[in-house]
């Protein structure tokens, strides 16, 4: 029942999102023909290619055609790279997914202790220092942070490679070292957001009676923070993590550009710039599905964290 | 309790004002044009002519940062306001109403979130052009789904809260509930996210600039300046540093201001953290010789140090308690009853508190214990039950986990042992089907059941003293009686002592052996229950007794209250604290605080105690009843 | 006290940044003895950083950029190449012979060459390739003069033209002349991701947007070559992190367009070598003006723009003083440069006067200049914008992405844009970009983007194309330069030779290749980043 409901929602989201993006892309000035032929082709060649690609058909017909193909599992073949879109996406998805998961692990792994430490000492020196640090991280754009991190860890200390990507299938160790810097760069901005959210919620939770009573039962601060206070304070944090996972699926473009990772973000952005509609649409489908799945996971986690929500 | 805003706050306000003023007055300031190339040598470091140096084209970086403030602040503030203005009402509506409203809003939200932001940004810029307004709209609109979800999440957790449910059941209008109950609670995470969100937006504008989707060059923006200056990071770091630092300080200042405003009286220290400096010790009378009583409290003092002076929440309280006895602490709200309990238990915040006096439990001086040693006493030898069973249990943990926890921590029981013992405990407090209850969550139990659970938890390790802080106030009358009966029965069974805090004198009269009456942090009357009730000496006690509703009152009898209000504990008047509200007050009451004097086992602190026989010297004129 | 954490954190950040700006520990300088000429060494692996991925690896169907030539050039070879003097030389071809009238070229294929799939390179394969190229929409404008290809003997293809074309072989040095086996022609989709050719390296792996790996071809037709065992092309779009990767040792060489890199690595001769293009191979940086729309249809406005532009200052500010100012499409050190005509020199007074004159007639001069949003490009435009502002011309900047910008340039939907072009080895290579036959009205596709229709200039181009006499050709192209200086369809800025290849010193042989027939080859060519062959690169052992 729940699954059916989710599926229905997924279908609606997919339909609306792909249609809107199809329309928006089609209305953007420029077309893939220029990208394929370059500046040296004459009008006749352009017209021929445009017809070949079906670009002269009405928008709705093109969308319907694309949708029909999609229903049979065919994402189409990119006119620009001449490779099947599905294959391209499948090749790049693991890169972005690994980057995202690693970034979230880094961000959460640091944000939870930082948030707890700050809330525990709310208003005191450590809290203030962490606040300043958080905002320093927040106001450092990734393209500056990434460069700084590379400078320190790759150029000066040479502990990790500066850029480049080694897939897991090739070598696990190298894979981890190659994802380390990008994940930290991406995670740092999130870390600040997460730590702030968790701190705020924790401070509220620590005022609750059940926390005082837990103290009255002689439980240690560590136990109270981790076992009693963390879970009820995690709702905003989980929301933010979910949102980020969803939003970042296509939004990792800057990181991927900086570190030379062959990920989904770069694919979609490059495809938008080259007006490769089919690839963009494939990416949009992927993002939508990913988003709905993440959303579903978030709701599951919500319920796991806060039993009161299970009734809903 | 107002907090001083502090120097940091004012520095932050000054900085924001400075940046805002600079942004607004940028054109009037005596600085170079932001697009004047070669105003100085390119990539020159800071100098008198160019305080922030020049960029790669020899433009004045200060001027560019100042003009950049316009776009960045406009976008930062505007986008957050826009996101909040649309997202917050939608989120609250979705989280509160559920069902159709939720489904529709979240479906739209899903579409908005799943939509690739870049396609949207490109489309807007391609059709509407790149301008401050459009960038603001792009970033604002892109933020809406996040705001909606965030607010919805927060609303969800509050909409299920008891106070909201209760209000709903009581038929309070939705709008009122939303405004009164939900909005203030949701505002906390929302506000803390707003400042973070602003930083994110200002940086996101830089990302748009990175992709060429922000305002048209050469209009500067902070993010754009950083992106531009990045290439010069090695040769002319000031180009990237100046906008970064200004942006960082601004974002930080906004956060600081927001934090302080919101936190005025809100962010209290958690009390979990042992203070590094020893808490201030108040002078108090040395420990009296131990009487051999189970619990002996001597001259206990707890003062909160506030900018307005010390708040004397507990001010020199002494009492003793024997096994198998119940001591009741009565008084109005704010008289220091609960603080007395927390002081005895040592559950005070670490910072900003001065304490004094001594607490002995069976010969051990608890007041000299380290927090670690104290934890061995809490739960094991001292148990506590608080007023509101709705908030006394952790909503996200099962009853079983919570009841079993002290057993495992203190008694080192295995998981299974602890579970069995927990079930036994639940049975002993009269919970039907204890095995099933172990697996349930607090929200699945009624109020009375929950209070039984908290009692079971307090008793799990067989404490010597049970502190019950208004255990029945939040319960309805029939349940009240059951719970108190239970406490009494358990006291008998386990030969414990009970400290019962209540403002309900009928409860006290029925269950207490001894009574302490507190006013303004001090004991004003103390003695065996029968004495205190039958031969009341303190005018305050008398007033309390009169204010207590009686079963004999007619159905629509107006509640009697004590005229006036309890004193401000930070500025207790000289003399008798009750004087301003006392019908019997005389000059002396204003001049000298009355000491606690004993008449046998019955003590009182009054210059003009009531209930003396009319033949005594003060005569009828003192008590014009 | 605690409130001052902020400044403390700041000064830390400052320290970090300052630290970056200081001297960096460079790679251990090589032992001078290793510099002793010990001859090329066989073996080794090269990792080569590129700024962008290729748009497909098939020379027949995919438009090649300079990175495509770097990558695909290791696998697929052209019929013709260019020598150090800028003259064309046969490569896969043994010879190219024109007839008397230069409207027929006989391409004789070099014998004894085979593709990586084992198939021998013969005349019919070359013919099939050229026919596929002619049919490809990429080239149909360029190959307009080609009538047909005929196989005159098993190893000779004769190209029939409908007019004399003396510079025709030059075109075969680019993607047009790159020869793939018939299998690739039959399946262009696969050829786009798995190139097969006759080259010194065999395709091994390609991960789009990440890397391409090629390995040594043991059966290469040139004896003893190549030296390297393997090359990995790493695609690193961000110029800053690419340079950092070079310093960290993640790559051995890279292409760059930043003058900072040239200055920085050029100053560390022990650790790095810097290679820049020269002569005709250097592209020009210019502003492209649409002469078909107001206000730039007025010659006085175009001249005013040129007068107002202080090229020396731009070079000093944006190029670190590394480049030479340009007054035409060919650089001074090339044989085709001619000084005739008066290019409007920097003269703000003249510019202002011209602007005033036009304003008096037509009102204020204002136009929009479109640009891709990358910060480097923007800087140039912002500088020019301010210079033009001082002359009284109101220029607004509009950012557009690459697809939009090219579309506008092609269809004439623009006033001005920034442009980098003209790196062909022979002036005839610029024929279609300037000849009036390729200028179409606004709204139609026009390869002459400025839409300048000048009879003299076009006639000169025609002469240069058809007249085999060297001095007559020079004369013709001198006329072209003169007309360009008079009519200012392009406001030239400089000869953009800041495109460079930076390599660690252990990488040897960049730009030192020798052609099959013994001549020295052209060192580097192409824009914005130059490329070079990899066949004779080697890595000196540590």
- CB contact under 8 Å between C236 and A164, yes or no, is yes
Q: Does C124 touch chain B (CB under 8 A)?
A: no
- Distances in Å between the Cα of B139 and the Cα atoms of B72, B192, B213, C302 are 11, 19, 11, 39
Question: From CA C193, how far away is CA C215, in angstroms rounded?
Answer: 16
Domain ranges of chain B: 68-265, 295-511, 525-549+561-618
H-type alpha helices, chain A: 2-27, 32-37, 43-52, 59-71, 85-120, 125-138, 142-149, 172-206, 209-216, 221-223, 235-248, 253-259, 264-273, 277-305
Residue B613, helix vs strand vs coil? coil
For residue C422, give both structure tokens: 């003209």
pLDDT digits (tens, 9 = 90+) for C122-177: 999 999 999 999 988 887 778 889 999 999 999 999 999 999 999 999 999 988 99
C98 or C527: which leads in pLDDT = C98
pLDDT digits (tens, 9 = 90+) for A53-87: 888 888 888 889 888 888 888 888 888 877 889 98
Q: Does C348 touch chain A (CB under 8 A)?
A: no
| Residue of B56, B59, B206 to mutate when probing chain C, most C C-beta within 10 A | B56
| Amino acid C227: pLDDT | 93
Band (pLDDT 50/70/90 cuts) for residue C457 is very high
Contacts of A307 in chain B (CB under 8 A): 395-396, 441, 443
| Residue C513 φ then ψ, to 5° | -75, 155
Contacts of B256 in chain A (CB under 8 A): 131
Question: From CA B249, how far away is CA C20, in angstroms rounded?
Answer: 22
- CB contact under 8 Å between B111 and A13, yes or no, is yes
Q: Does B252 touch chain C (CB under 8 A)?
A: yes
- CB contact under 8 Å between A39 and C211, yes or no, is no
- CB contact under 8 Å between C5 and A129, yes or no, is yes
- CB contact under 8 Å between A243 and B375, yes or no, is no
Type and span of the H or E element at B142: helix B132-159
Q: Does C5 touch chain B (CB under 8 A)?
A: no
| Amino acid C542: pLDDT | 63
One-letter-per-residue 3-state SS of C17-82: HHHHHCCCCCCCCCCHHHHCCCCCCCCCEEEEEECCCCCCCCCCCCCCCHHHHHHHCCCCCECEEE
Contacts of B233 in chain C (CB under 8 A): 17, 20-21, 240
Q: Whose CA is closest to A220, among C379, B549, B372, B127?
A: B372
**Residue C373 clears pLDDT 80, i.e. is over it:** no
Contacts of C140 in chain A (CB under 8 A): 41-42, 44-45
- CB contact under 8 Å between A221 and B273, yes or no, is yes
Poorest-pLDDT segment among A207-211, B288-292, C454-458 = B288-292
For residue A261, give both structure tokens: 């990772």
- CB contact under 8 Å between C260 and B235, yes or no, is yes
- Distances in Å between the Cα of C450 and the Cα atoms of B292, C106, C401, C412, C435 are 106, 36, 20, 8, 10
CB-closest option in A124, A125, A132 to C6 = A132
Distance between B185 CA and the closest CA of chain C, angstroms: 28
For residue C133, give both structure tokens: 């190229």
Q: Does C377 touch chain A (CB under 8 A)?
A: no
Considering B463-467, C194-198, C411-415, the range whose residues carry the highest mean pLDDT is C194-198
What residues pair up with C75 in beta bridges, in sequence order? none
What is the CATH number assigned to the segment(s) B68-265? 1.10.3720.10
Q: What single DSSP character describes residue B443?
A: G
- CB contact under 8 Å between A124 and B351, yes or no, is yes
- CB contact under 8 Å between B119 and A25, yes or no, is yes
- Distances in Å between the Cα of C316 and the Cα atoms of B57, B161, B358, C139, C518 are 10, 68, 81, 38, 40
Question: From CA A2, how far away is CA A8, in angstroms rounded?
Answer: 10
Percent of chain C past pLDDT 70, that is, above it, reads: 93
| Amino acid B284: pLDDT | 67
CB-closest option in B6, B36, B126 to C386 = B36
Contacts of C2 in chain B (CB under 8 A): 8
**For residue B462, is it left (φ>0), alpha (ψ between -120 and 50) or beta?**
left
For residue A286, give both structure tokens: 């992927």
How much is the average pLDDT of A240-267?
A: 82
Contacts of A238 in chain B (CB under 8 A): 153
- List chains adjacent to chain C, taking adjacency as at least 3 C-beta pairs closer than 8 Å: A, B
Contacts of A141 in chain B (CB under 8 A): 203, 206-207, 210, 223, 226-227
Q: Does C368 touch chain B (CB under 8 A)?
A: no
For residue B564, give both structure tokens: 């006036």
- CB contact under 8 Å between B231 and C399, yes or no, is no
- CB contact under 8 Å between B231 and C404, yes or no, is no
Q: What single DSSP character describes residue C120?
A: B
CB-closest option in A124, A155, A270 to C248 = A155
How much is the average pLDDT of C313-335?
A: 90
| Amino acid B618: pLDDT | 42
Q: Does C247 touch chain A (CB under 8 A)?
A: yes
Type and span of the H or E element at B176: helix B174-177
Angle between helices B222-229 and B61-97 in degrees, nearest 10? 120
Identify the closest residue of chain C to B45 by CA–CA distance.
C18
CB-closest option in A49, A147, A267 to C137 = A49
- List chains adjacent to chain B, taking adjacency as at least 3 C-beta pairs closer than 8 Å: A, C
Q: What is the pTM of this model?
A: 0.83
Band (pLDDT 50/70/90 cuts) for residue C22 is very low
C187 or A244: which leads in pLDDT = C187
C505 and C204 Cβ atoms separated by less than 8 Å: no
| Amino acid A226: pLDDT | 87
Regions of chain B where pLDDT drops below 50: 1-3, 264-269, 274-277, 613-625
- CB contact under 8 Å between A196 and B394, yes or no, is no
Compute CA C140 distance to the chain's CA centroid, rounded to the nearest angstrom. Answer: 20
What is the CATH number assigned to the segment(s) B295-511? 3.40.50.300
Residue A127, helix vs strand vs coil? helix
Mean model confidence pLDDT for chain C: 87
A295 and C234 Cβ atoms separated by less than 8 Å: no
- CB contact under 8 Å between A41 and C193, yes or no, is no
| Amino acid B271: pLDDT | 54
Contacts of B234 in chain C (CB under 8 A): 20-21, 260, 264
Contacts of A136 in chain C (CB under 8 A): 9, 13
Residues 6+ apart with CB under 8 A from C347: C307
pLDDT digits (tens, 9 = 90+) for A1-29: 567 777 887 888 888 888 988 888 888 87
Residue B327, helix vs strand vs coil? strand
Half-sphere exposure of C33 (CA within 13 A, CB side): 1
**Residue C534 clears pLDDT 80, i.e. is over it:** yes
Band (pLDDT 50/70/90 cuts) for residue C5 is very low
How much is the average pLDDT of C515-521?
A: 89
Question: From CA A201, how far away is CA C234, in angstroms rounded?
Answer: 45
- CB contact under 8 Å between B37 and C386, yes or no, is yes
Identify the closest residue of chain A to C11 by CA–CA distance.
A136
C239 and C115 Cβ atoms separated by less than 8 Å: no
- CB contact under 8 Å between C17 and B218, yes or no, is no
- CB contact under 8 Å between A37 and C247, yes or no, is no
- CB contact under 8 Å between C445 and A43, yes or no, is yes
Identify the closest residue of chain B to A237 by CA–CA distance.
B150
Residues 6+ apart with CB under 8 A from A217: B378, B379, B383, B384, B405, B406, B457, B458
CB-closest option in A223, A292, A312 to B114 = A292
Residue C301, helix vs strand vs coil? helix
Residue C230, helix vs strand vs coil? strand
- CB contact under 8 Å between C317 and B58, yes or no, is yes
- CB contact under 8 Å between A216 and B347, yes or no, is yes
pLDDT digits (tens, 9 = 90+) for C270-287: 999 999 988 888 999 999
Cis preceding linkage at C295, omega within 30: yes
Band (pLDDT 50/70/90 cuts) for residue A293 is confident
Half-sphere exposure of B213 (CA within 13 A, CB side): 24
Q: Does B123 touch chain C (CB under 8 A)?
A: no
Distance between A33 CA and the closest CA of chain C, angstroms: 9
- CB contact under 8 Å between A39 and C447, yes or no, is yes
Q: Does C373 touch chain A (CB under 8 A)?
A: no
């Amino acid at each position: 029942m729940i699954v059916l409901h989710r599926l229905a929602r997924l279908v609606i989201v997919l339909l609306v999102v792909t249609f809107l993006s199809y329309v928006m892309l089609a209305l953007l000035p420029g077309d893939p023909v220029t990208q394929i032929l370059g500046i040296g082709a004459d009008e006749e060649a352009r017209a021929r290619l445009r017809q070949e690609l079906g670009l002269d058909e009405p928008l709705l017909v093109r969308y319907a055609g694309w949708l029909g193909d999609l229903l049979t599992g065919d994402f189409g073949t990119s006119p620009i790279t001449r490779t099947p879109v599905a294959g391209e996406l499948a090749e790049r998805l693991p890169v972005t997914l690994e980057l995202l998961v690693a970034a979230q692990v880094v961000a959460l792994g640091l944000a939870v202790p930082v948030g707890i430490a700050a809330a525990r000492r709310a208003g005191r020196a450590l809290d203030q220092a962490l606040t300043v640090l958080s905002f320093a991280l927040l106001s450092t754009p990734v393209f500056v942070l990434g460069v700084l991190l590379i400078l320190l860890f790759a150029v000066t200390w040479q502990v990790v490679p500066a850029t480049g990507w080694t897939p897991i299938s090739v070598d696990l160790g190298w894979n981890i070292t190659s994802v380390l810097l990008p994940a930290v760069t991406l995670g740092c901005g999130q870390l600040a957001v997460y730590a702030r959210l968790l701190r705020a919620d924790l401070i509220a939770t620590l005022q609750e009676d059940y926390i005082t009573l837990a103290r009255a039962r002689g439980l240690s601060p560590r136990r109270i923070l981790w076992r009693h206070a963390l879970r009820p304070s995690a709702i905003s944090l989980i929301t933010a993590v979910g949102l980020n996972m969803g939003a970042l699926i296509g939004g990792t473009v800057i990181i991927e550009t900086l570190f030379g990772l062959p990920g989904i973000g770069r694919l979609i952005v490059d495809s938008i710039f080259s007006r490769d509609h089919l690839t963009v649409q494939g990416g949009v489908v992927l993002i939508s599905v990913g988003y709905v799945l993440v959303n579903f996971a978030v709701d599951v986690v919500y319920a796991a964290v806060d039993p009161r929500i299970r009734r809903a | 309790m107002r907090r001083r805003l502090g120097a940091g706050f004012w520095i932050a306000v000054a900085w924001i004002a400075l940046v805002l003023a600079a942004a607004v007055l940028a054109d009037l300031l005596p600085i170079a044009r932001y697009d004047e190339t070669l105003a100085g040598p390119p990539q020159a470091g800071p100098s008198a002519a160019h305080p922030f140096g020049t960029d790669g084209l020899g433009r004045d970086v200060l001027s560019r940062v100042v003009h950049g403030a316009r776009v960045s602040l406009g976008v930062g503030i505007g986008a957050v306001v826009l996101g909040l203005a649309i997202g917050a009402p939608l989120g609250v509506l979705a989280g509160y109403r559920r069902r159709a409203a939720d489904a529709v809003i979240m479906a739209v939200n899903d579409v908005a979130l799943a939509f690739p932001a870049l396609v949207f940004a490109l489309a807007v810029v391609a059709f509407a052009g790149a301008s401050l307004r459009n960038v603001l709209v792009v970033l604002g609109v892109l933020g809406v789904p996040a705001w909606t979800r965030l607010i919805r999440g927060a609303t969800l957790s509050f909409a299920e809260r008891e106070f909201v449910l209760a209000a709903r059941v009581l038929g309070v209008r939705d709008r009122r509930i939303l405004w009164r109950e939900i909005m203030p609670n949701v505002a906390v995470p929302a506000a803390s996210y707003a400042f973070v969100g602003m930083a994110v937006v200002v940086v996101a504008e830089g990302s748009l600039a990175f992709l060429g989707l922000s305002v048209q060059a050469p209009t500067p923006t902070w993010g754009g300046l950083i992106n531009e200056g990045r290439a010069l990071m090695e040769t002319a770091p000031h180009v990237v540093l100046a906008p970064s630092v200004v942006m960082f300080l601004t974002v930080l200042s906004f956060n600081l201001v927001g934090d302080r405003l919101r936190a005025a009286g809100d962010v209290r220290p958690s009390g979990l953290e042992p203070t590094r400096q020893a808490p201030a010790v108040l002078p108090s009378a040395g420990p009296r010789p131990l009487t051999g009583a189970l619990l002996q409290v001597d001259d206990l003092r707890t003062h909160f140090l506030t900018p307005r002076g010390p708040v004397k929440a507990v001010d020199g309280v002494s009492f003793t308690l024997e096994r198998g006895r119940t001591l009741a602490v009565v008084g109005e709200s704010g008289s220091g009853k609960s603080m007395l309990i927390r002081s005895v238990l040592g559950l005070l915040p670490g910072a900003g508190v001065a304490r004094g006096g001594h607490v002995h439990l069976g010969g051990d001086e608890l007041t000299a214990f380290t927090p670690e040693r104290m934890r061995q006493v809490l739960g094991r030898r001292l148990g506590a039950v608080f007023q509101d069973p709705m908030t006394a249990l952790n909503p996200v943990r099962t009853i079983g986990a919570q009841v079993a926890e002290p057993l495992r921590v203190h008694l080192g029981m295995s998981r299974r042992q602890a579970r069995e013992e927990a079930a036994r405990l639940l049975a002993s407090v009269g919970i039907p089907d204890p095995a099933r209850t172990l697996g349930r969550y607090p929200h699945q139990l009624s109020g009375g059941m929950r209070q039984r659970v908290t009692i079971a938890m307090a008793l799990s390790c067989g404490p010597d003293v049970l502190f019950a802080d208004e255990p029945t106030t939040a319960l309805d009358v029939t349940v009240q009686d059951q719970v108190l009966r239970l406490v009494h029965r358990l006291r008998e069974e386990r030969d414990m002592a009970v400290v019962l805090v209540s403002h309900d004198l009928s409860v006290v009269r029925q269950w207490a052996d001894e009574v302490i009456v507190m006013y303004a942090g001090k004991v004003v009357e103390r003695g065996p229950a029968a004495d205190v009730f039958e031969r009341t000496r303190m005018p305050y006690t008398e007033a309390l007794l009169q204010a207590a509703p009686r079963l004999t009152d007619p159905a629509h009898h107006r509640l009697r209250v004590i005229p006036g209000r309890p004193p401000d504990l930070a500025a207790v008047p000289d003399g008798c604290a009750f004087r301003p509200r006392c019908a019997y007050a005389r000059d002396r009451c204003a001049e000298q605080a009355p000491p606690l004097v004993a008449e046998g086992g019955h003590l009182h602190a009054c210059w003009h105690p009531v209930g003396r026989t009319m033949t005594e010297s003060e005569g009828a004129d003192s008590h014009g009843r | 006290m605690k409130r001052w954490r902020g400044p403390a954190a700041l000064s830390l950040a400052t320290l970090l940044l300052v630290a970056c700006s200081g001297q960096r520990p460079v790679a251990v300088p090589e032992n001078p003895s290793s510099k002793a000429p010990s001859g090329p060494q066989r073996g080794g692996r090269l990792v080569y950083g590129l700024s962008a991925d290729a748009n497909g690896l098939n020379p027949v169907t995919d438009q090649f950029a300079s990175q495509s030539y770097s990558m695909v050039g290791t696998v697929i070879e052209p019929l013709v190449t260019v020598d150090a003097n800028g003259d064309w030389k046969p490569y896969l071809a043994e010879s190219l012979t024109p007839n008397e009238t230069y409207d027929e070229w006989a391409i004789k294929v070099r014998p004894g060459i085979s593709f990586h799939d084992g198939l021998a390179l013969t005349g019919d394969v070359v013919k099939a390739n050229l026919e596929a190229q002619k049919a490809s929409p990429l080239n149909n404008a360029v190959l307009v003069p080609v009538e047909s290809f005929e196989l005159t003997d098993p190893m000779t293809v004769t190209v029939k033209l409908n007019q004399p074309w003396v510079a025709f072989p030059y075109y075969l040095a680019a993607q047009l002349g790159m020869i793939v086996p018939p299998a690739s022609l039959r399946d262009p989709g696969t050829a786009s991701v798995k190139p097969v050719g006759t080259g010194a390296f065999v395709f091994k792996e390609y991960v789009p947007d990440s890397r391409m790996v090629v390995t040594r071809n043991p059966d290469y037709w040139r004896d003893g070559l190549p030296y390297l065992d393997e090359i990995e092309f790493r695609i690193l779009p961000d110029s800053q992190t690419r340079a950092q990767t070079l310093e960290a040792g993640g790559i051995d060489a890279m292409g760059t367009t930043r003058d900072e890199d040239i200055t920085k690595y050029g100053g560390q001769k022990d650790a790095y070598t810097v290679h820049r293009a020269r002569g005709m191979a250097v592209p020009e940086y210019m502003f492209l003006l649409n002469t078909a729309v107001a206000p730039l249809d007025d010659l006085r406005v175009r001249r005013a723009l040129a007068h107002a532009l202080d090229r020396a200052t731009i070079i000093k500010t944006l190029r670190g003083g590394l480049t030479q100012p340009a007054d035409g499409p060919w650089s001074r050190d090339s044989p085709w440069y001619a000084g005739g005509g008066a290019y409007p020199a920097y003269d703000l007074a003249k510019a202002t006067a011209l602007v005033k004159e036009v304003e008096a007639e037509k009102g204020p001069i204002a136009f929009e200049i479109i640009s891709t949003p990358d910060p480097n490009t923007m800087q140039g435009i912002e500088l020019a914008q301010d210079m033009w502002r001082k002359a009284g011309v109101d220029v607004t900047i509009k950012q557009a992405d690459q697809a939009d910008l090219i579309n506008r340039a092609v269809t004439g939907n623009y006033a001005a844009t920034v442009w980098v072009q003209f790196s062909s080895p022979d002036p005839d290579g610029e024929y279609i970009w300037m000849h009036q036959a390729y200028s179409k009205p606004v709204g139609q596709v026009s390869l002459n983007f400025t839409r300048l229709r000048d009879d003299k200039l076009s006639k000169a181009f025609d002469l240069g194309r058809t007249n085999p006499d060297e001095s007559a050709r020079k004369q013709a192209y001198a006329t072209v330069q003169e007309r360009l200086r008079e009519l200012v369809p392009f406001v030239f800025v400089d000869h953009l030779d800041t495109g460079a290849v930076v390599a660690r010193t252990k990488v040897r042989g960049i730009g030192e290749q020798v052609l099959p027939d013994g001549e020295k080859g052209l060192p580097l060519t192409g824009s914005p980043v130059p490329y070079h062959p990899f066949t004779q690169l080697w890595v000196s052992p540590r």
